[in-house]
């Protein structure tokens, strides 16, 4: 296939604490030709997640390369047995209109490309509730926090991609779930759509008191996505034997120091809390099948609900990413950069 394609790359090195108008730049390159064991794919959905800012802050991405992201794409040309033009795949094309997958194509080791079956659900779910995002929620909540019937579980960033799933999984285990969100419409969504037992706003001037009132018996498990002031409100509520998983610390992602989360971990452990850091790559090989077996039917039956915040157009990627980091998203943030033929 001849022609060119567009991609976004990181322009500022080192980057600023938070993305600005000059952090990323668009570049144009020839569409690559797949070699033996490779396939050319056209990106449909780009997944935007807070962890990606950590990649850029740490200089993980090669200079001039497309910004990393999980993607849903469609095969254009294939030299991989079992994949044909028109097939849909989960891969890591990044912030790019086209990309190669297969032999010799760099990717994070735990992000294994795979063919998608549209008959089993929306293809966008492959970078969401039935993909690494859902596995992250499952690993942190079910495997690390281990909620029990009657316990009180708190989830920060409860309306976000991971938070909404984590809280619903705790409810499926019989726990009482309290969400923390921001704007009133997000709190209403957490209560009415996700069916959490309570939700408080971290924007409230009485946030700490509101959270205490929502957790009269204290907190048995905490799924941490935020850190900072939100964590400080949860800290005095931990009960003996409490568990905490650190999935993300978005309030620290602009810090210059490299010890984000150290203070939260130390403070929680000082109260006897069992603290676990969450890296989803550690759970892919041993738990992915169990996750899909348990969670996919709940999604199909509506027992686990899931909201996507889908932006439109390739040009929208950097702005959508910056807004997501600042809490301007509502649900799992995706950018649709090409038509989805399954809709």
Contact, 332 vs 324, CB < 8 A? no
Q: How far is CA 135 from CA 129, 277, 280, 292, 312, in A?
A: 8, 15, 7, 8, 26
Report the DSSP beta bridge partners of residue 99. Answer: 41
DSSP 115-173: EE-GGGS-GGGGGTTTSHHHHHHHIIIIIII---TT-EEEESSTTSHHHHHHHHHHHHT
Q: What is the pLDDT of residues 27-76, one digit of tens each?
A: 999 999 999 999 999 999 999 998 899 888 888 899 999 999 999 999 99
Task: List every span in the chain annotated with CATH 3.40.50.720.
Answer: 132-281
| CATH, range 132-281 | 3.40.50.720
Structure tokens at 57: 């802050």
Task: Say yes or no to pLDDT of 321 above 80.
Answer: yes
* pTM for this model (two decimals): 0.84
Using alpha carbons, select from 84, 93, 77 the residue that is nearest to residue 39: 77
Three-state helix/strand/coil letters over 60-93: CCCCCCECCCCEEEEEEEECCCCCCCCCEEEECC
Q: What is the pLDDT of residues 234-246, one digit of tens each?
A: 999 999 999 999 9
Superfamily of 4-124+306-336 according to CATH: Medium-chain alcohol dehydrogenases, catalytic domain (3.90.180.10)
Task: List every span in the chain annotated with CATH 3.90.180.10.
Answer: 4-124+306-336
Terminal alpha carbon distance of the chain: 25
Contact, 211 vs 180, CB < 8 A? yes
Phi first, then psi: give them for residue 27, nearest 5 degrees: -130, 165
CA angle 278, 220, 227 (to 5 degrees): 45
Using alpha carbons, select from 208, 204, 157, 199 the residue that is nearest to residue 177: 199
Q: What is the pLDDT of residues 228-282, one digit of tens each?
A: 999 999 999 999 999 999 997 765 454 555 555 788 889 999 999 999 999 998 9
Confidence of residue 210 (pLDDT cuts 50, 70, 90): very high
What is the Cα–Cα distance from 312 to 334, expressed in whole angstroms? 9
Q: What is the pLDDT of residue 313?
A: 98
Q: What is the pLDDT of residue 323?
A: 95
SS3 content of the chain, % helix, strand, coil (to 5): 35, 25, 40
Q: What is the pLDDT of residue 84?
A: 97
Asked, as a colleague might, if the bond just before 13 is cis with ω within 30 of 0, I would say no
């Amino acid at each position: 296939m001849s022609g060119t394609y567009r991609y976004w790359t990181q322009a500022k090195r080192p980057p600023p604490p938070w993305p600005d108008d000059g952090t990323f730049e668009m570049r144009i390159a020839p569409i690559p030709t797949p070699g033996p064991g490779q396939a050319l794919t056209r990106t449909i959905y780009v997944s935007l997640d807070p962890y990606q800012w950590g990649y850029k802050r740490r200089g993980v991405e090669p200079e001039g390369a497309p910004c990393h992201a999980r993607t849903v794409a469609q095969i254009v040309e294939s030299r991989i047995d079992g994949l044909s033009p028109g097939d849909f795949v989960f891969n890591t094309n990044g912030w790019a209109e086209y990309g190669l997958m297969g032999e010799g194509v760099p990717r994070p080791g735990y992000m294994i490309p795979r063919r998608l079956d549209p008959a089993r659900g929306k293809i966008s779910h492959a970078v969401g509730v039935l993909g690494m995002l859902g596995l992250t929620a499952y690993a942190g909540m079910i495997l690390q926090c281990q909620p029990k019937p009657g316990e009180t579980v708190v989830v920060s960033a409860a309306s976000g991609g991971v938070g909404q799933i984590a809280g619903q999984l705790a409810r499926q285990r019989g726990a009482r779930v309290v969400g923390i969100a921001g704007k009133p419409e997000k709190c209403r969504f957490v209560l009415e759509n996700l069916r959490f037992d309570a939700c408080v706003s971290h924007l409230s001037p009485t946030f700490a008191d509101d959270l205490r009132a929502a957790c009269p018996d204290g907190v048995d498990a905490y799924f941490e996505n935020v850190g900072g002031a939100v964590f400080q409100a949860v800290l005095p509520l931990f009960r003996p034997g409490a568990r905490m998983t650190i999935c993300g610390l978005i309030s620290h992602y602009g810090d210059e120091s490299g010890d984000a989360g150290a203070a939260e971990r130390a403070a929680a452990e000082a109260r006897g809390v069992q603290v676990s850091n969450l890296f989803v790559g550690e759970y892919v090989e041993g738990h992915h099948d169990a996750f899909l077996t348990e969670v996919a039917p709940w999604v199909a039956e509506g027992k686990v609900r899931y909201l996507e915040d889908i932006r439109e157009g390739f040009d929208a990627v950097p702005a959508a990413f910056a807004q997501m980091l600042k809490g301007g998203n509502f649900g799992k943030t995706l950018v649709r950069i090409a038509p989805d033929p399954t809709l």
